Amino acid sequence: MTEIRVLTDEAQYRAHSTLFRRAMHWGPPTDEQWPIVLPSYEPGRVLAAFEGDEMVGTTQSFGSSMVVPGGAVVPHAAVSRVGVRADYTRRGVVSALMQEQLSTLPEPVATLRASEGRIYGRFGYGLAGRVRFLRIDAKKAVIPGSPAGRVRMVDPDTSDKLLPELHAAFGLDRPGQISRWPGWWARALDRKTEAENRVMVVHSGPDGDDGYVCYKVSEDKDFKHSMEIEDIAWANADAWRDLWIYLTRLDLIDEINVDAALDDPLNWLFEDPRVVCTKDVYDQIWLRLVDAPRMLAARTYGVGEPVVIEVHDKLLPANDGCYRVSADGAERVDQQADITIPVELLGAVYLGDTKFSDLAAAKRIEGSRFAEADALFAGPVAPLCSTFF
Ligand SMILES: CC(C)(COP(=O)(O)OP(=O)(O)OC[C@H]1O[C@@H](n2cnc3c(N)ncnc32)[C@H](O)[C@@H]1OP(=O)(O)O)[C@@H](O)C(=O)NCCC(=O)NCCS
């Protein structure tokens, strides 16, 4: 009989970390790594499944907040470290963990990154945001004109304090973006010290610091230099353009790799838009509406005729019901539905990445008036979550 417990002490956290890492085929955390990993264990949010005294499965969440379409910021749970011991898989362990976690999360919405696309739909998570992996031919990348502000390199001591402040000030710039918790920064700052050539650069304009980028350059045996952008954020178009002027005018660099939103206009910065090549598009945000009425009311909607949507949620039946969505907002109603949708697919359309009409074409939802629903749920910008967890 699987029992789910909330873990409370460091020894259990370390066992949790070891179990999760082994499920991912990684080694356990080393003594050197552990002090940096430990702050990411938030009391009350770490769950494990037990068979008798043996820990056999893990999950946890980090308390955060998320931007929804229209710009409101709502409490959000970042779910992570989901793993089951290899000798206990396919016996319902993760199902028990997910049921307990979803029933006890204080936040109205949860997101996660999925190792495989078939795992989380059954738990009500839908694929709600994708990202483009871009490669820029740095030798041909020319941005005409001069920078408007200036950039400066900062040392790790400065960036440890400054970057969290800057991210809090302007990192929540799109639907799907989430705030970062202290344990996230502890891991990220550690990642910066792992390699001696990680570089942090801050941009300032007339109103002070308004952009930053963290990157790392590696060199192969043929002296080819590749840059990975690990973190980039900006408050305004001048800061964005100036950071890219800096990055593309660096000596020796052959290519720059970066993740960007589907609608990121980066190619328009360059004289030759072909220097930006989309190498891949992959799924990023898997979103679970924990409190569907609250989340439907939290976002804004586009113009269009109202539609009534009937939601079905096997794990959280409090979400079941009909919701009237119009340009003025969303509310629970007792009316005939136009569209019937399971909660994971409502999660998929929530941030605007997926359309009702596409789900209908794929025979994933039933009803009518999909174009009206598309118009209501469409947003001016594509979602993105630049915070990996
Ligand atoms: C993925 C994982 C967490 C699933 O745990 P589990 O305890 O085996 O899952 P359950 O037994 O509760 O399975 C529930 C259902 O999901 C299905 N399922 C689980 N994992 C699946 C997978 N990777 N692919 C397809 N189906 C899967 C099961 O077949 C089962 O279906 P059923 O209810 O129709 O019988 C576990 O296999 C694991 O730890 N994998 C390696 C680490 C990993 O990928 N973690 C996720 C990180 S995001």
Instruction: Tell me how far apart the 2 most distant CA atoms of the chain are, in Å.
Output: 67
Atom nearest to 95 CA in ligand 1: 12
Partners of residue 323 on adjacent β-strands: 309, 332
Does 95 lie in the same domain as 144?
no
**For residue 66, what is the enclosing H or E element?**
strand 54-67
Is residue 196 very low, low, confident or very high in pLDDT (cuts 50, 70, 90)?
low
Q: How many domains does the chain have?
A: 3
In a domain, 274, yes or no: no
C-alpha to C-alpha distances, 222 to 219, 225, 226, 248, 284, nearest whole angstrom:
8, 9, 11, 20, 33
Q: What is the CATH number of the domain that holds 372?
A: 3.30.1050.10
The residue type found at 251 is D
The CA distance from 247 to 235, in Å, is: 17
Does 82 lie in the same domain as 25?
yes
Question: What is the model's pLDDT at position 191?
Answer: 62
In a domain, 156, yes or no: yes
State if residue 96 touches ligand 1 by the CB under 6 angstroms criterion. no
Q: Is the confidence at residue 233, as pLDDT, over 80?
A: yes
Taking a C-beta distance cutoff of 8 angstroms, is the pair 45, 61 a contact?
Answer: yes
DSSP 292-319: HHHHHHHS---SS--EEEEEE-SS-GGG
In a domain, 340, yes or no: yes
Closest CA to ligand 1's atom 4: 94
State if residue 151 touches ligand 1 by the CB under 6 angstroms criterion. no
In a domain, 387, yes or no: no
In a domain, 131, yes or no: no
In angstroms, the first-to-last Cα distance of the chain is 31
Q: What is the pairing mode between strands 46-51 and 150-154?
A: unpaired
Could you read off the pLDDT of 99-118 as tens digits, one per residue? 999 999 999 999 999 999 99
What's 268's DSSP letter? G
Q: Is the confidence at residue 193, as pLDDT, over 70?
A: no
Q: What is the CATH number of the domain that holds 48?
A: 3.40.630.30
Does 230 lie in the same domain as 145?
yes
> Within 13 Å of residue 205, how many CA atoms lie on the same side as its CB?
16
Name the packing angle between helices 370-377 and 343-350 (round to 10°).
50
Partners of residue 51 on adjacent β-strands: 2, 54
Does 16 lie in the same domain as 100?
yes
Identify which of 109, 40, 84, 82 has the alpha carbon closest to the alpha carbon of residue 290.
109
In a domain, 330, yes or no: yes
State if residue 79 touches ligand 1 by the CB under 6 angstroms criterion. no
CB-count exposure of residue 172 (10 Å: 0-12, 13-18, 19+): buried
Which of 200, 227, 253 terminates a domain? The answer is 253
Q: Which residues are annotated as a binding site?
A: 82-84, 90-95, 115-116
Closest CA to ligand 1's atom 12: 92
Question: What is the model's pLDDT at position 144?
Answer: 96
Q: Provide mean pLDDT across the span 225-252.
A: 98
Does 147 lie in the same domain as 69?
no
Taking a C-beta distance cutoff of 8 angstroms, is the pair 322, 309 a contact?
Answer: yes
Taking a C-beta distance cutoff of 8 angstroms, is the pair 123, 110 a contact?
Answer: no
The CA distance from 113 to 178, in Å, is: 13
Would you tell me how many other CB atoms lie within 10 Å of the CB of residue 95?
16
Does 103 lie in the same domain as 9?
yes
Catalytic residues: 120, 389
Does 144 lie in the same domain as 248?
yes
Give the rounded distance of the alpha carbon of 52 from its chain centre: 35
Does 301 lie in the same domain as 243?
no
What does the CA dihedral 375, 377, 378, 383 come to, rounded to 10 degrees?
-170
More confident residue, 145 or 191: 145
Is residue 198 very low, low, confident or very high in pLDDT (cuts 50, 70, 90)?
confident
Could you read off the pLDDT of 324-342 as tens digits, one per residue? 999 999 999 999 999 999 9
Structure tokens at 296: 């439907």
Which of 230, 253, 276 terminates a domain? The answer is 253
How far, in Å, from the CA of 114 to the mean position of ligand 1? 11
Q: Which residues are annotated as a binding site for acetyl-CoA?
A: 82-84, 90-95, 115-116
Is residue 299 very low, low, confident or very high in pLDDT (cuts 50, 70, 90)?
very high
Atom nearest to 120 CA in ligand 1: 16
Does 157 lie in the same domain as 85?
no
Question: What is the model's pLDDT at position 124?
Answer: 98
In a domain, 262, yes or no: no
DSSP 231-263: EEEESSHHHHHHHHHHHHTSTT--EEEEEE-TT
Identify which of 15, 260, 29, 357 has the alpha carbon closest to the alpha carbon of residue 348.
357
Does 16 lie in the same domain as 93?
yes
Does 241 lie in the same domain as 297?
no
Domain boundaries, position 7: 2-107
Closest CA to ligand 1's atom 21: 119
In a domain, 389, yes or no: no
Which of 83, 107, 131 terminates a domain? The answer is 107
C-alpha to C-alpha distances, 92 to 45, 58, 123, 343, nearest whole angstrom:
21, 13, 12, 21
Question: What is the model's pLDDT at position 194?
Answer: 60
State if residue 86 touches ligand 1 by the CB under 6 angstroms criterion. no
Does 307 lie in the same domain as 211?
no
State if residue 73 touches ligand 1 by the CB under 6 angstroms criterion. no
The CA distance from 133 to 140, in Å, is: 19
